[in-house]
Structure 1
């Protein structure tokens, strides 16, 4: 699948589908998402029919999401350092095998409650390993100018599946049995694997060798510790998904026990939620022109909480269908706002790892919430559990207002390439280190306070990109002369830092340069550790640009 293709005549929301490779994988993933929803309906209904236990029904959803909590960060790291096409094919074949066993056991009436949970857990492991790689693949399938539309179409795919899959799943379970529902899910994984096998991936050639797994994992976690905008996304996500999980976990119990309705009714309610999400995805661009991300998330959270409260109190199924549509509108408004902020707040080199952290928070919230609300419902009833969750969602929305998503839109994380490559007089082995970089600045005396504020921001970016230590100090004998220094673990890791610098960091360094004494330039030196007799780099001037 190539990134280059004939430009679309119009850059509308459907423009990425004119890219043949993106379109093929988008359609395959849509079919796979529909299969997953068919499985979810069948699994939840089989468990509700077999055990009548809210906790066991919630355990099915937890079995899907708990593997993501454990494996997503590992998967995100692998997705940044291995061939994503082969990696995704293996994940799809794993899920195909697990779904096939599930279908055969159901057909032969040998599927017990714990067997269902175990096989659903194996499916969840495959999904956990595939998610970060699948999301990080999008920039390889479309030109950069269409990336926003492609991400939106990915969200739309999930919600089209959410509208079609549950209703179809309820119909299949009611008419043909759960075994056929599980079999259709298995075939959907095989379809995605076939499309991936036909993908002629043209991966960008890296100047540096790929990171080792341990170093890549540490780099991703280090980046997240210093990325304040990404942290705001993760905190808001945790505050919403934990309480929002109550509705998806307890809806089968509400339909089965409180309403006395069938699997078809359950599927239709989920279909209405999906239809509301589709309507929301289509209408959100207009809404975003009037509301920023933070206001939209807060408003949608209150709407979602109101829908949960109504589901707890109302017992007329005819009233629940329009509420389900409204619930879907609120859900997609929150979900898409968080996903967009997570995507644009990080640079490409660490995107899969950052997205894996978002996926972990999402899944941990859904899994912990499912089990917690299931336990509450088992002791005090589903209506009380939904009421508590609704109140908690509203309180969390108010408590987390200070964490802002709007800053993500102001970031420019594109690689700037403005740092010159260091030119040592002799070749330096990549594993040699540590590396100490010093930059000397001569700052105007009346601008020292502003300089230190900007340097604090620069220090965070140095640490995000790979520095294991950073500081800035002032010369006691020459006020206004400052020395910035930072340390990298090896020469190779220092070269990676050169590749990771972004346009935001270029802008920050230009602002710092504007505070220096006229005609003064930062003086940059590189020092490298290593065994005696190893080649040593010479001091380097970078022409006024700090590195």
Structure 2
């Protein structure tokens, strides 16, 4: 890191007025959301004694991400992100208000609670990719890691305050008040986002269709080795770690013998641990790699699961959940930062939506699985099993290591010239075949192939359906790289989206060319139907 990057603290992005307003609004909304979570989970324990139904509250919160995450990311990269956020906040305000009214009038059943909790989860699934994708628009590039960590600080301050306040309100007035206050909390975000004057991203091309946008986003993630590593580690961690959030209400009620306010206290201590964990994380990042931080924090969280399953003393449980909060935020902040730093602006909402799909989808599936297991084994035994599983899952860290991103520059390079054409191709014509001709000294062939393997990754994640390098049988030093993309319009988008980091890889491959002038690029457009 440079001296300038080392001097940036986690609080520095708050000097930016727009970021400060957004952060504060998100804090208020998250407090309301955590109050909602406490109210919903505790209300379900009053409506039914089934561990499965109690666990389904978490599933209903997170399962919508499986349904809408990819479309949400695609839409977040296509439409005006400001108006999308406004629409989502209105949806969530109405849903939370309806749940509050139904609960106040005694009409909430377990299925109604799950349905409206699912509706709120639907809004969250649509909001999260876009909300996180706007962070680089609010701060400088050097401040981005600090801004992401600061977002985690706000989230976990809310986790500390929301459950405690929610538990007190729940004990004093009931779940209906908690739900109605959550509805009001969405107004904070509505006001701030409405006042934000966002600068639109310049592009001379029309927006993508949603289906095309989804395919491009999935293709980018599938062909990026760094993102694949992050997603594999995310799924491994969250599946086992979800046991604590699914079963904590039952642990508090049955093993610790606490009531609603006690449940709020336990979650509040967890949130305080997470907030304190940001300081621990900053120091850890200065001494250890991201891979080492995630590995150590995951092992620590596994130990917390085992302790909670075996020691049922309130004081010990409070210490354990505080430590768990530190481990939790260390893992999730590191994973989120990795996704954002590996994603260029044009596809960021989509890569984040895939990340949220793995993260919240893993929580939904894990919550369902651990709830079903707890109905047979019991809550303590299930927590121990989840902790043991997480320890075993850490073996995957040997293969799925995080890439170094300190020098990765994903800003648009704009170094590709417009394609030379003697006619105007139909934008929807395709597929499009692009060829690049190189002349290679036989003594550098091996190094050239190494460079081309890196270039293959760039071509495929930016949209290539097929890629290959061919050698001319009559002219042995002549090599032709070819790749196939969907349509002429899709290829034009590549010209806008190629990044500085992509350019460096392309220039390394081109450096082996020994012919006169740069490598020759040709474009061929299919105009045949079928």
Q: TM-score range by the shorter chain?
A: over 0.9
The CA deviation at 1:145 is 3.4
The residue that corresponds to 2:306 in the other structure is: 309
Aligned residue number for residue 131 of structure 2: 134
Unaligned runs of 5+ in 2: 1-6
SS in 2 for 1:524: strand
Contact 2:438–2:515 (CA under 8 A) maintained in structure 1: no
> By how many angstroms is 1:256 displaced?
0.5
Match of 2:418 among 395, 417, 421: 421
- What are the within-5 Å matches in structure 2 for residues 74-473 of structure 1? 74-409=71-406, 411-473=408-470
Separation of aligned partners in 1, 2:528 and 2:336: 47
Provide, for residues 151-181 of structure 1, a one-character-per-residue CA deviation record: whole Å limited to 9, x for no partner: 2211111111111111111111011111111
Please state if 1:477 is matched with 2:479. no
C-alpha separation between the residues in 1 aligned to 2:495 and 2:526? 19
Provide the rounded CA distance (Å) in 1 between the counterparts of 2:150 and 2:268.
19
Tell me, yes or no, if the aligned pair for 2:148 and 2:333 is still in contact at 8 Å. Answer: no
Shift of 1:429: 3.5
SS of 1:406 mapped into structure 2: coil
CA change 1:520–1:197 in 2 (3 A) is closer
Give distance in 2, aligned partners of 1:278 and 1:381. Answer: 31
Map Cα deviations across residues 123-149 of structure 1 (whole Å, 9 max, x no partner): 111111111111111122223332222
SS at match of 1:190: helix
In the alignment, the residues of structure 1 paired with residue 380 and residue 77 of structure 2 have an alpha-carbon distance, to the nearest angstrom, of 44
CA–CA distance in structure 2, aligned partners of residues 146 and 427 of structure 1 = 43
Shift of 1:475: 0.7
Mapped contact 1:433–1:490 kept (Cα < 8 A): yes
On the 8 A contact 1:435/1:487 being kept in 2, the answer is: yes
Checking the alignment, whether the CA contact within 8 Å between 2:309 and 2:380 is kept in structure 1 is yes
Gapped regions of structure 1 (runs ≥ 5) = 1-9, 533-547
Cα RMSD, aligned residues only: 1.6
SS in 1 for 2:358: helix
Task: Give the Cα separation in 2 of the matches to 1:461 and 1:32.
Answer: 39
Note if contact 1:229-1:408 (Cα within 8 Å) is conserved in structure 2. Answer: no
Q: Tell me what 1:538 maps to.
A: none
Deviation beyond 6 Å, 4+ runs, structure 1: none
**Higher deviation after alignment, 523-532 or 216-225:** 523-532
48-57 vs 519-528, greater mean Cα deviation: 519-528
Deviation at 1:491, TM superposition (A): 1.9
| Match of residue 3 from structure 1 | none
Higher deviation after alignment, 135-144 or 273-282: 135-144
Deviation at 1:409, TM superposition (A): 4.2
Partner residue of 1:506? 503
Q: Secondary structure at the match of 2:484?
A: strand
Which of 480, 487, 491 is 1:490 aligned to?
Answer: 487
TM-score scaled by length of structure 1: 0.93
Separation in 1, partners of 2:76, 2:397: 31
Aligned length: 523
Match of 1:30 among 9, 27, 30: 27
**Which digits, 9 at most, give the CA deviation of each residue in 1:187-235, with x for residues without a partner?**
0112212222222222122121111111111111111121111010000
Give the drift of 1:280. Answer: 0.9
> So what's the TM-score if we normalise by structure 2?
0.95
Greater shift in the superposed pair: 407-416 or 294-303? 407-416
2:468 alignment partner, SS class? strand
In 2, distance between residues paired with 1:54 and 1:87? 36
Match of 1:45 among 15, 25, 42: 42
